[in-house]
């Protein structure tokens, strides 16, 4: 089962499940300012806070009325020019600090959540399917069950990014790393067309670069077995950038 199909099925299932209030606690351990953002999926309403600035060692919390399907990421090197807010990586294109229902332009490291699905079960993952811009970890605060574990992409993938996938800043340094799907838009990398099944769409030399650096994270679309995690008991979540 592909990741996209799984999340779609979970978003339908959660409509008939019980609900709980979850808190997403976001912390910036990077030595520079970041601008975290959120996007609600599954046709649900956007959260009240869809983007904000976070200084080094800063933190912020967002209450999420579960059931909820959505993602969280962080933008870097942001500024306002002529009244329009833009970022060098993971920009959502809203022109404002809040993304207001717009998603991240790849490459972007994503923390993804499906909360209170299947009778109260949570699912969460770190995804590099859209590439990488910052290390991130997801740590559970509460919850129950042996599967309630931390997941992360703590390595700096930019340090091993091939030149054909690299996004460089104005100083020439690599500031993000595209996935092969984003860079080349070919079915064998995107798991589309004739490659649209887990049996046919296999890891590539490019996806293995991401997987070797971040074994717990999604490295391509059908990287399900080792990359999606679950927990029951209504935990809160600490999302740490540059853990």
The pTM for the full model equals: 0.89
| Pair 200, 208: CB distance under 8 Å | no
DSSP assignment of 182-212 equals HHH--HHHHT-GGG-STTT----HHHHHHHH
Instruction: Tell me the domain boundaries of the chain.
Output: 3-241
Per-residue confidence in pLDDT tens, the chain, 243 aa = 445 444 444 444 434 344 568 999 999 999 999 999 999 998 889 999 999 999 999 999 999 988 999 999 999 999 998 889 999 999 999 999 999 999 999 999 999 999 987 667 899 999 999 999 999 999 998 877 667 899 999 999 999 999 999 999 999 999 999 999 999 999 999 999 999 999 999 999 999 999 999 999 999 999 877 789 999 887 899 999 999
Q: Which CATH code, of 2.60.110.10, 3.40.1390.10, 3.30.300.180, 3.40.50.2300, is assigned to 3-241?
A: 2.60.110.10
């Amino acid at each position: 089962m592909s990741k996209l199909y799984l999340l779609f099925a979970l978003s339908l299932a959660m409509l008939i499940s019980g609900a709980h209030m979850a808190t997403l606690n976001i912390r910036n351990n990077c030595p520079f300012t970041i601008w975290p953002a959120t996007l609600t999926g599954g046709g649900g309403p956007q959260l009240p806070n869809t983007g904000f600035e976070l200084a080094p060692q800063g933190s912020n919390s967002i209450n999420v009325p579960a059931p909820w399907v959505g993602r969280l990421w962080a933008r870097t090197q942001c500024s306002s020019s002529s009244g329009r807010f833009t970022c060098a990586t993971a920009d959502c294109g809203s022109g404002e600090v809040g993304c207001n229902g717009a998603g991240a332009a790849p490459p972007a490291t994503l923390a993804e959540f499906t909360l209170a699905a299947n009778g109260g079960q949570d699912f969460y993952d770190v995804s590099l399917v859209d590439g990488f811009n910052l290390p991130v970890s997801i740590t559970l605060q509460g919850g129950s069950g042996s599967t309630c574990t931390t997941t992360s992409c703590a390595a700096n993938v930019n340090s091993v990014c091939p030149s054909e996938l690299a996004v460089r800043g104005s100083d020439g340094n690599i500031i993000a790393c595209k996935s092969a799907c984003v860079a080349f838009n070919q079915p064998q990398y995107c798991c589309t067309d004739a490659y649209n099944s887990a049996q046919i769409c296999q890891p590539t030399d490019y996806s293995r670069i991401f997987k070797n650096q971040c074994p717990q994270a999604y490295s391509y679309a059908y990287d399900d077995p080792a990359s999606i995690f679950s927990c029951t008991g209504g935990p809160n979540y600490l999302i740490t950038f540059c853990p």
